[in-house]
Structure 1
Amino acid sequence: MNDRQTDWMAVEWRPGALRIWVMDDAGQVKARLDGTEDTRALGPEAFEIALGGLIAGYLEDDAPTEILIAGDPARPGFWSDDVAGRKVPCRPVEPGSAVRVAMRDARLDVRVVPGLVQAAPPALMLADTLRVAGYLAANEGFDGVLCLPGARSHWVHVSAGEVVSFQTVLTRDLTEGSLRAMNVEPMDATLGEIGLASMEDVMSRPERIGQKIGSNAAQVALGNTSAEDSREAVLGAFLGLELAAMKPFWLGQQVALIGRDGMRDAYSRALEAQGITPIAADEEETLLSGFRAAR
């Protein structure tokens, strides 16, 4: 084995973004790879080809490399019925629960980490399942709520090492869709006075969010507001809608935030405005801890 090769790999693949960590047998990162392949447009065979091309320099010709995958390819039905989400309440991952899937390339020993499924209300959590597992591995005995902001934000109630229930919210999709309709380029926005005021307004009168977004669109068209202020106002509005809906999760609870980019900071400020001081966790290390727990 040369210096570029590896003992195993951890792969998170979500729509439009790919992260690969090349690991040694002790679970330490030897290398990190990034890509932009979109699994929504790929079937299993095309996925194998795309993945194989990206990691070819870290594979051995005479022995398979163990590859743990979480994210979009773990969605039910992508590989086969064998990869099905585990039903809550349950532990987020169990050692050895990853499902081996067939590969044409004998160098790839691919195992998919199942996500979590909730029947009522319906909810599905894929890669964030590993973040939950990683946080609980590092914070044994934590009892409270994990908030995982992202394209699909999750609010997860955990107790006694298990996921009791969770909810999925599409705040980022709603924010970006509204901004594009205004011809404003979506970007990470801060949550300052404008955003917090917008959030509080929607929390008190959620039925008026459509009118509020419409007024903001008019302000943009008339040149009465900047793109930056518009981003902040729209993000604040949809965060207000999310916090109002998720109030049973965060009110009076210990909340830990696991996220990255400006979204984590925005959620932190939003929660602090409600009197909640969230615990911050490193997103990447938490995810890798989850991969280690799943082996």
Structure 2
Amino acid sequence: MRDIKAKWIAADWGTTHMRAWAIDEKGEVLAYSESNEGMKDLQQNEFEPVLLRLIESWLDSEKVTSVMACGMVGARQGWVETPYLKTPCVPIDKIQITVASTKDSRIQVNLVPGVMQHKPADIMRGEETQIAGFIKENPSFDGIVCLPGTHTKWVNVRAGQIENFRTFMTGELFGVISNNTLIKHSIESEGWDQVSFDNGVIKGFDNPGLIASDLFSLRSESIVNDLDSNSARATLSGLLLGVELNGAISYWKDKNVILIGSELLTNNYQEGLKILGGESHAFSLEAATLSGLTSAYMELHSE
């Protein structure tokens, strides 16, 4: 295996997962590493050891390597809290990039700030970097960016700034309902039924006020009418997405939405929007993250 020494290191450190990339002089990825040691499982003094386990082989003992990190690592419960930028704002501002205290002299860890909105109150950490990356690749873009995830963000971007945004905790609700309610007995499989998902989207969108009743019906249908677990699971996902798309209609109606998320979630959102007459296009999550962290690195090291 050839010796890899990074010019700098990009890191996306979320609540449950951490990813790191070694970047060379030309901005190309030399190596990649990941860990399931997310923010929620770590004490403040554990972040540096976890990071070093992933990146130590990329470090040069004779120089300081800059690490640019985004995500929940900069939350109040993370390594060190970074201040929020306030909308309307550029996604990343080097003035508020925070340096984490480290014991190892080979690294300087720079944490990208999140973004806050006062009315309605809302926050993001990590997504601002992906938005910055998309804007870097599409500097003339004005429109809507949707970032599907545990807490999905619908973001209005204008003139290179985040104007306003809204968060829907649809992904977290799916997890909580699947694992901590009586419905879990009806969706124990990891399977899928596309027709059930599509019908669920329409039902959730058309009648969001019935969501509490429709959720209970999943259990009833499995007992009374032998609804299979694949259909129940897909219906649950569709119902919750349909309710979200009803609430976010002002963001996507008659607009072309850019989706930045995992392949699975992006496909679901594309399908949901298509069913309801919406238009969307996917942009690579990894490309957006790396481009955003590169933008932060370049800005931090510019004169």
Q: CA deviation at 1:43?
A: 2.5
Please, what TM-score do these two structures have when normalized by structure 2? 0.90
1:86 partnered with 2:85 = yes
Per-residue CA deviation, residues 140-162 of structure 1 (Å, 9 max, x unaligned), is 21111001101111100001111
Counterpart Cα distance in 1 of 2:127 and 2:224: 41
Counterpart Cα distance in 1 of 2:156 and 2:189: 30
Q: Secondary structure at the match of 1:259?
A: coil
Query: 1:46 — aligned with what?
Result: 46
Counterpart of 1:268, as a letter, is Q
Counterpart Cα distance in 2 of 1:23 and 1:292: 9
Q: Which runs of structure 2 are paired with 1:22-101 in the superposition (5 Å)?
A: 22-76=22-76, 78-80=78-80, 83-95=82-94, 97-101=96-100
Counterpart Cα distance in 2 of 1:186 and 1:143: 41
Counterpart Cα distance in 2 of 1:19 and 1:291: 12
Counterpart Cα distance in 1 of 2:222 and 2:102: 51
Counterpart of 2:24, as a letter, is D
Per-residue CA deviation, residues 149-176 of structure 1 (Å, 9 max, x unaligned), is 0111110000111100011111111112
The answer to whether the 8 Å contact 1:76/1:85 transfers is: no
Query: Of 184, 189, 195, which aligns to 1:193?
Result: 195
Q: Which runs of structure 2 are paired with 1:251-262 in the superposition (5 Å)?
A: 251-262=253-264
- Closer, same or farther: CA 176–121 of 1 in aligned 2, 3 Å: same
Q: CA deviation at 1:253?
A: 2.1
Per-residue CA deviation, residues 19-72 of structure 1 (Å, 9 max, x unaligned), is 111101221100010110021132221111111122121122232211011111
- Closer, same or farther: CA 130–185 of 1 in aligned 2, 3 Å: farther
Query: 2:273 — aligned with what?
Result: 271
- Closer, same or farther: CA 137–188 of 1 in aligned 2, 3 Å: farther
Query: 1:121 — aligned with what?
Result: 120
- Closer, same or farther: CA 264–18 of 1 in aligned 2, 3 Å: same
Q: Secondary structure at the match of 2:283?
A: strand
Query: 2:148 — aligned with what?
Result: 149
Please, what TM-score do these two structures have when normalized by structure 1? 0.93
CA RMSD in angstroms, aligned pairs only: 1.9
Counterpart Cα distance in 2 of 1:77 and 1:179: 26
Query: 2:13 — aligned with what?
Result: 13
Q: Secondary structure at the match of 1:271?
A: helix
- Closer, same or farther: CA 242–266 of 1 in aligned 2, 3 Å: same
The answer to whether the 8 Å contact 2:12/2:289 transfers is: no
Counterpart Cα distance in 2 of 1:248 and 1:162: 19
Give structure 1 regions of 4+ aligned residues with deviation exceeding 6 angstroms: none
- Closer, same or farther: CA 42–188 of 1 in aligned 2, 3 Å: farther
Q: Percent identity?
A: 26
The answer to whether the 8 Å contact 1:123/1:167 transfers is: yes
For structure 1, the 5+ residue unaligned runs are none
